[in-house]
Amino acid sequence: MQRIEPYGWDRYDRTYFVLDDNRIYRLVAPPTHVEQRKATKLRRTQKNRRSSKRLRPTASQKLLDKESSNQGKVTSEGDDGLGRATWECVAVSLSEAHAFLNTLDNTQDENEKILRKQLERYLVPILVKQEEAMRRRELQREREALNLAMMANAKRSSRIANKVERQQRDEEAQEKKRQQAEAELAVQRDRAAQAKAEQERNLRMLSRQRRLQEREARRLQHEEELSHLSGGHLTNAEAKRTSQRRQQADIQRKRQVLQDIASEEDSWIFDCSCGLYGQIDDGNHSVACDRCNVWQHSRCLGIQEEQAEQSEFHFICLSCRRQDQERADDPKMFVRLKVRPSQLAPEASPNEVAGADADNEEVEIRADPSVQDHTLP
């Protein structure tokens, strides 16, 4: 067992020790003079007591006996192996040591001055180092706890960030798909509108072509009838039935019909691929087909305005070119007209006249492409 030397004493002769755990303990010696006085008084009381077996003890004697027995018990129980000395823990930490030293600042006792110097020289530096080490350990634990919290936070933040990023990617992908679907739908609508406009334009062109063919057939028929009436090629039966005045009226009527047909040929129409249709002039530069006299925007056709204004510029529309190609593939063209049998040429055979219906009959007229070359398709 290692012997521990005391650090010093105070004014009350109490001894101070510093143990291995750097704690300050104070040893308080037992009050020996009080115990001796009590023991002497007790012995004197016992000497003055009368001892008689025949006399019964009085109440005062019983009380004295009880006190003596209690004093014996206290004496036996108070001896705990340390000589009934008391150990007190004065300071454990650096702050408690400074608080104890502050009580010794203004002391005049030499023992307390020596005790203070001893504690400041040997114990306080050790406690300072312990306090610093404890503070460093506490800071390290705090840093580790903070790092763990930051790591947990970072993981949570990373999961949240990944979730947010994934949601953003999903939203962007959905938005991109929606935009693509809308763009495709818009393209489909545009294509459908263009196809519908092209179909309507083709129908208008076919209808116009049919009207022009019918008008050309009527013109040829009326010219032939006019030449027949003007040339005096009537038969005797027809001459009898028709007077000179009636004949002149028919000739005048045929000429008026031919003039009406000619005025119809001079009419114009605007029918562009952009959808604009009718007798409309929107102020934009336009060109007309040399065949069908149908006007279209030069911008829609890809024709520059300077090029269209040149004197040697000629334009044939797509419909007329397609019609030329069809004529080249099929030189003969058949046009069905509803005419009365009385309007047939006089050179027609009686069988043809008899075969035609009295009211309406469809008659095929062969038209030479060279004759219709200057007409609209």
Among 26-40, 213-227, 302-316, the range of highest mean pLDDT: 302-316
Among 95-104, 263-272, 275-284, 302-311, the range of highest mean pLDDT: 95-104
Token pair recorded at residue 314: 């000629």
Does residue 363 carry a pLDDT above 50?
no
Token pair recorded at residue 231: 């040339």
Tens digit of each residue's pLDDT (9 = 90 or more) over 127-174:
999 999 999 999 999 999 998 888 888 888 888 888 899 999 999 999
- What is the average pLDDT across 36-53? 51
H-helix or E-strand spanning residue 338: strand 333-339
341 compared with 377, residue with greater pLDDT: 341
User: What is the dihedral sign for C-alpha 274, 278, 279, 282?
Assistant: negative
The mean-pLDDT minimum among 16-25, 68-77, 128-137, 159-168 falls in: 68-77
Per-residue model confidence (pLDDT) at position 374: 36
Choices 3.30.70.20, 3.30.40.10, 3.40.50.12780, 3.30.420.40: CATH for 268-329: 3.30.40.10
Tell me the pLDDT band of 357, cut-offs 50, 70 and 90: very low
Per-residue three-class SS string for 275-316: CCEECCCCCCCEEECCCCCEEEEHHHHCCCHHHHCCCCCCCC
Domain-wise residue ranges, the chain: 268-329
48 compared with 260, residue with greater pLDDT: 260
C-alpha 114/C-alpha 121 separation (Å) is 11
Per-residue model confidence (pLDDT) at position 359: 39
Give the Å distances, CA to CA, from 189 to 183, 193, 196, 298: 10, 6, 10, 25
Q: Is 104 helix (H, G, I), strand (E, B) or coil?
A: coil
Q: How far is CA 266 from the centre of its chain?
A: 61
Per-residue model confidence (pLDDT) at position 67: 52
176 compared with 344, residue with greater pLDDT: 176
Token pair recorded at residue 21: 């755990």
Tell me the pLDDT band of 286, cut-offs 50, 70 and 90: confident
- What is the average pLDDT across 32-45? 54
C-alpha 278/C-alpha 178 separation (Å) is 39
User: What is the dihedral sign for C-alpha 238, 242, 245, 250?
Assistant: negative
Q: Assess contact for 235 and 350: CB atoms under 8 A.
A: no
Tell me the pLDDT band of 270, cut-offs 50, 70 and 90: confident
Residue 122: which of 226, 39, 196, 24 has the closest Cα? 24
Residue 274: which of 293, 309, 250, 298 has the closest Cα? 298
CA distance between the termini of the chain: 134
Does residue 58 carry a pLDDT above 80?
no
H-helix or E-strand spanning residue 89: strand 86-91
Surface-to-core class of residue 234, CB atoms within 10 Å of its CB (0-12 exposed, 13-18 middle, 19+ buried): middle
Token pair recorded at residue 268: 């114009």
Tell me the pLDDT band of 299, cut-offs 50, 70 and 90: confident
Q: Are strands 269-271 and 294-297 parallel, antiparallel or unpaired?
A: parallel
Rg (Cα) of the chain, in Å, rounded? 69
Does residue 113 carry a pLDDT above 60?
yes
Residue 297: which of 321, 276, 320 has the closest Cα? 276
Per-residue model confidence (pLDDT) at position 210: 81
Q: Assess contact for 337 and 217: CB atoms under 8 A.
A: yes
Per-residue model confidence (pLDDT) at position 366: 44
C-alpha 242/C-alpha 267 separation (Å) is 36
